[in-house]
Amino acid sequence: MTKVVAVTGNEAVANAFRQIEPDVCAAYPITPQTELMQRFASFVSDGKVKTELILVESEHSALSACVGAAAAGGRVATATSSQGLALMWEILFITSGMRLPVVMAVVNRALSAPINIHCDHSDAMGARDSGWIQLWSENAQEAYDNAIQAFRIAEHMDIRLPVMVCYDGFIISHSIERIEYLDDDIVKNFVGEYKPLYPLLDIENPKSYGPLILTDLYMEVRRAHAEVYKKVPQVVLKVAEEFEKISGRKYGLFETYRLEDAEIGLVVLNSAAGTAKDVVDEYRDKGIKVGLIKPRLFRPFPYGEIGDALKHLKAVCVLDRADAFGGSFGPLYLDIATSLYPYSIKPALINRIYGLGGRDFMPEHVAYVIEELKKIVETGKVESFKEYIGVRE
């Protein structure tokens, strides 16, 4: 049955890839992703997987090779971080535009300049409009579980879209945690045999991939493409339901924590949610009605469901581990604000930017924000909508 192990986040995702055994993987080294593909390369070298591993000369070529491999007609995975994801940017849109179900682990890391190898979310946020489905993961267990579910979502015949599985660089990728592995057979059964759709290698039925489409039909193609994303949340929930049966672990579009009767709330992605939940508990013990929401399916963003979950609150702080320079607010804040816009009575909404370039996110930062929200509820006034927190003065 399940096996309890102490492993890093990268090791857990490498193990998920081993269990799933994609037909082709292509990757290029970048910190903090590197360990994942190193471990996977050992599985290839030791004959534990039948995967063809393409060790390319750049991330641009890594994703380009994935596009070719996926179009050829088999299961494909890759992984990257930061600059690597930035270099892939052009091909991200081509992967989704061609409806190729590639799965990519994105080990979140800050973008240059200045160069920084540590965690923030500016890499994945830069790819949020690329048409990839994004699943975010709080810890190694969620990264492992999301990686397994990602293949089912990507390869679903109603979806056929690429999926990113995001987890925090170093904080999760390199920390050792207790996690539960599923049996190899159970994972293989869950993921199932790959079903090719219009494979290039079907010589008898030749297909052309990547046509030129100009003013006559481009708009129609894009409109049809937009329709597909509407089906994603239902598929994500269906896959989660099946995953619960094999793992006992429940997943939704997002996780709520002590939110139902809350008056103030926090919205936060990935590992910082773990820290924030502890502080929520402390405040609950003091009788403060605070709760939390942690989005899991960030693209397509479940606006209706999240707006519905937050609308009853009096004040909410969206914690962003990335800024949108030149824009007004952090990227997560903008989506939360959009979710709440349809409601005539809605919470006061503030944005706090934290943890850039791996700056530690401490319990006192959460406490500081909760105190701010309490004050907003008491006074009915918002003094500042957007601030950086945890900055050295």
Partner 1 sequence: MTTPLNLKELSKKELRFTSGHRLCAGCGVPIVVKMILLAACDYPVVAASSTGCLEVSSCISTYTAWKIPWIHNAFENAAATLSGVESMYRALKKQGKIDKDIKFIAICGDGGTYDIGFQSLSGAMERGHNMLYVCYDNGAYMNTGIQRSGATPTYADTTTCPAGAVIPGKPQQRKDLTRIMASHGLPYVAQAAPSHWPDLMKKVRKAIETPGPKFINIFAPCNRGWRSRPDDAILLSRLAVDTCFWPLYEVENGVTRVTVKPKEKKPIVEFLKAQGRFKHLFAPGNEKMLEQVQEMIDKNWERLLKEEQMTLPKEEESK
Residues at the contact surface with partner 1, assessed by CB under 8 A: 23-24, 26, 50-52, 54-58, 60-62, 64-74, 76, 90-91, 94, 200-203, 206-214, 216-217
Residue 94 CB, shortest distance to partner 1, in Å, is 6
Residue 144 CB, shortest distance to partner 1, in Å, is 24
Pairwise CA distance, residues 292 & 366, whole Å: 11
Q: Which is nearer to partner 1, 196 or 390 (CB)?
A: 196
Pairwise CA distance, residues 194 & 23, whole Å: 9
Pairwise CA distance, residues 4 & 79, whole Å: 25
Q: Which is nearer to partner 1, 65 or 253 (CB)?
A: 65
Q: Which is nearer to partner 1, 207 or 250 (CB)?
A: 207
Retrieve residue 49's tokens.
Answer: 């997987």
Residue 107 CB, shortest distance to partner 1, in Å, is 22
N-to-C CA span, the chain = 52
Q: Which is nearer to partner 1, 26 or 164 (CB)?
A: 26
Residue 19 CB, shortest distance to partner 1, in Å, is 17
Q: Which is nearer to partner 1, 27 or 370 (CB)?
A: 27
Pairwise CA distance, residues 295 & 137, whole Å: 9
Residue 212 CB, shortest distance to partner 1, in Å, is 5
Q: Which is nearer to partner 1, 85 or 292 (CB)?
A: 85
Annotate 141-168 with DSSP letters as a single string: HHHHHHHHHHHHHHH-TTT---EEEEEE
Residue 205 CB, shortest distance to partner 1, in Å, is 9
CB proximity list for 367: less than 8 A, separation 6 or greater: 279, 282, 283
103 phi, psi to nearest 5 deg: -110, 130
CB proximity list for 323: less than 8 A, separation 6 or greater: 122, 330, 353, 356
Per the listing, tokens 């909410």 go with 316
